[in-house]
């Protein structure tokens, strides 16, 4: 079998994810003062580098809706391995690896969002009502959670399939699917004015690292 579990490692990974979520909730709970455009901590969030100058600042509901495919589709892909007899025999192990991957990615993403508090591009649109009190979601641009989840889930899927597949074409196809889904999700979130380009890029990197690293930690020597 390509993967094996070790109790100490599994408990450590799960506790790490839960601890990071607890810290993220604590940080969020401390942020109680009303925030508006006029008293943003980083009012020039998108003007510090040429890449973010390419951001869209007008909301695009259609792009936002399409990006949900990556948010939910990426993490769902590894669960499809329950359908194949070769992977079904080790499915409990695969399921735990999946849980650790998604939990850690969600935890790190949440902590970064609550700590950085970067305003979304639409908040800095000249047409945005400056008197409007900003919600936590309005200040959760960095990093893109949709993108990180799409990347983590789809790359985990590619890693798992490659470990069991006997044909190289299958491996190439799954990695290509992972890259396409992650990249498309990143673009759509930027197009929807939900994220600056660097938010999407950071989400890609985080998701890819988590989606690659967690299954590698479980590889049978």
- pLDDT exceeding 70 applies to what percent of the chain? 99
pLDDT in tens, 109-149: 999 999 999 999 999 998 898 888 999 899 999 999 999 99
- Angle separating helix axes 168-191 and 197-217, nearest 10 degrees: 150
pLDDT in tens, 28-67: 998 778 888 888 877 777 667 899 999 999 999 999 999 9
pLDDT in tens, 64-82: 999 999 999 999 999 999 9
Of 10, 219, 212, 182, the residue nearest 99 (C-alpha): 10
- pLDDT of 158: 98
> In three state form, how does the secondary structure of the chain look?
CCECCCHHHHHHHHHHHHHHHHHHHHHHHHCCCCCCHHHCCCCCCCCCCCCHHHCCCCCCHHHHHHHHHHHHHHHHHHHHHHHCHHHHCCHHHHHHHHHHHHHHHHHHHHHHHHHHCCCCHHHHCCCCCCCCCCCCHHHCCCCCHHHHHHHHHHHHHHHHHHHHCCCHHHHHHHHHHHHHHHHHHHHHHHHCCCCCHHHHHHHHHHHHHHHHHHHHHCECC
pLDDT in tens, 168-203: 999 999 999 999 999 999 999 999 999 999 999 999
- pLDDT of 95: 97
- pLDDT of 46: 67
**Average per-residue pLDDT for the chain:** 94
List the structure tokens of 19.
């601890």
133 φ/ψ angles, rounded to the nearest 5 degrees: -75, 125
Per the CB < 8 A criterion, the answer to whether 209 and 156 are in contact is no
- pLDDT of 24: 97
Global model pTM greater than 0.85: yes
């Amino acid at each position: 079998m390509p993967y094996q579990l070790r109790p100490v490692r599994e408990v450590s990974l799960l506790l790490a994810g839960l601890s990071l979520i607890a810290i993220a909730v604590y940080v969020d709970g401390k942020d109680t003062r009303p925030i508006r455009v006029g008293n943003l901590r980083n009012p020039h969030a998108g003007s510090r580098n040429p890449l973010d100058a390419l951001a869209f600042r007008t909301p695009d509901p259609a792009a936002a809706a399409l990006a949900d495919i990556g948010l939910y589709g990426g993490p769902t892909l590894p669960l499809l391995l329950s359908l194949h007899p070769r992977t079904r025999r080790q499915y409990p192990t695969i399921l735990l690896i999946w849980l650790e991957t998604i939990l850690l990615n969600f935890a790190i993403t949440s902590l970064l969002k609550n700590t950085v508090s970067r305003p979304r591009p639409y908040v800095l649109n000249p047409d945005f009502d400056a008197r409007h009190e900003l919600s936590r979601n309005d200040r959760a641009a960095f990093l893109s959670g949709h993108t990180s989840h799409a990347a983590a889930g789809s790359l985990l899927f590619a890693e798992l399939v490659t470990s069991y597949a006997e044909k190289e074409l299958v491996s190439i196809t799954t990695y290509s699917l992972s890259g396409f889904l992650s990249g498309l999700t990143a673009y759509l979130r930027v197009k929807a004015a939900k994220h600056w380009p660097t938010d999407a890029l950071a989400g890609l990197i985080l998701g890819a690292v988590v989606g690659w690293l967690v299954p590698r930690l479980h590889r049978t020597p």
